[in-house]
Amino acid sequence: MALTITCPICGKRNGYEFRYGGEDKGPRPEEAGLTPEAWCDYVHMNKCVAGVQKEWWFHKDGCGSWFTIHRDTTTNLEVKGPEADK
């Protein structure tokens, strides 16, 4: 299905110009006191939401930016994130 992604620099572009970068999991955990479980959670584990999720994208065939968007995984449509209403 067609997908468009809005790059903060280049604007709305064809989805195939981008590389998916994973679910947004917040900042990388601190090294101090890091357990294998917490590291694994950050590296591998996903929520696999069937609905809206915040996720990372990389404009690989464009400006090279990394950024986050909100997308509905059941429709492939970009949606406004909760921050947009603040």
> Cα separation of 44 and 11, whole Å?
30
Tell which one of 12, 26, 27, 48 touches other proteins (CB under 8 A). 48
By CB under 8 A, which span of 26-34, 45-53, 78-86 interacts with other proteins? 45-53
Tell which one of 6, 10, 14, 74 touches Zn ion (CB under 5 A). 10
> Cα separation of 43 and 7, whole Å?
25
By CB under 5 A, which span of 4-12, 41-49, 50-58, 73-81 interacts with Zn ion? 4-12
- 5, burial (CB in 10 Å: exposed 0-12, middle 13-18, buried 19+): buried
